[in-house]
Amino acid sequence: MQVKFAGNPIDLTGTEIKKGQQTPDFTAVDNDLGAFKFSGIKGRKIILSVPSLDTSVCDMEVRKFNAEAGNLPNTTVITVSMDLPFAQKRWCGAAGVKNVMTVSDFKDRDFAKKYGVMMAPNGLLARAVFVVDESGKVVHVEYVAEVTTEPDYKAALAALK
């Protein structure tokens, strides 16, 4: 699969996720350097893949989903990036983000491989949104065509209904 990053084509590596498939389990690092396992989260889930929380578009996206998350019963919003856990924790505190869980894929890149979001040339994750129902089935997928733009919020949120 290919997306654009600031107008430049870039190939994504890893396995592309398709609507209707079972969600792959993945491991990452939580904000306290502990192990995070996706299968440990119950209920509906929105997974946000972002290049870095310290960029304006990622900042806007996570803040938007943070605001919406309070209105989403039985739903956990998880943001995955290559940012170090210390940076994620600092950003969440500074931004007042309390309804979104941030985890880092910096260590093993397990999420990047299993969700097909790795932009190998720059070592970052592409922008993508995955919505998962209670049974673990993917009900919405968006690999954002231009990584420097926001995702389709309405489509992601509508997939939960």
Average pLDDT over residues 53-70: 93
Overall residue count recorded for the chain in this entry: 161
Quick check: 95 and 61 in contact, CB under 8 A?
no
Q: Does domain 2-158 have CATH number 3.80.10.10?
A: no
What's residue 64's pLDDT? Answer: 95
Tens digit of pLDDT for each residue in 101-122?
Answer: 999 999 999 999 999 999 999 9
The pLDDT of residue 139:
97
Rounded to two decimals, the pTM is 0.96
Which of these is catalytic: 58, 87, 92, 112?
58
- Residue 92 is among the residues annotated as catalytic for this protein: no
At residue 71, does pLDDT exceed 90? no
Asked if residue 11 has pLDDT above 90, the reply is yes
Residue 116: the pLDDT is 98
Give the per-residue pLDDT at 112.
98
pLDDT at 28 over 90: yes
pLDDT tens, position by position, 79-102: 999 999 999 999 999 999 999 999
Instruction: Specify which residues 102 forms β-bridges with.
Output: 79
Q: What is the DSSP letter of 14?
A: S
Cα dihedral 24, 25, 29, 30 sign: positive
- Res 70 pLDDT > 90: no
> What average pLDDT does the structure give for the chain?
95
Q: Which of 138, 135, 116, 137 is nearest to 127 (CA)?
A: 116
With cut-offs at 50, 70 and 90, classify the pLDDT of residue 137: very high
* Contact (CB, 8 A) for 25 and 39: yes
pLDDT above 90 (res 69): no
Contact 95, 76 (CB under 8 A): no
- Arithmetic mean of pLDDT, 64-84: 93
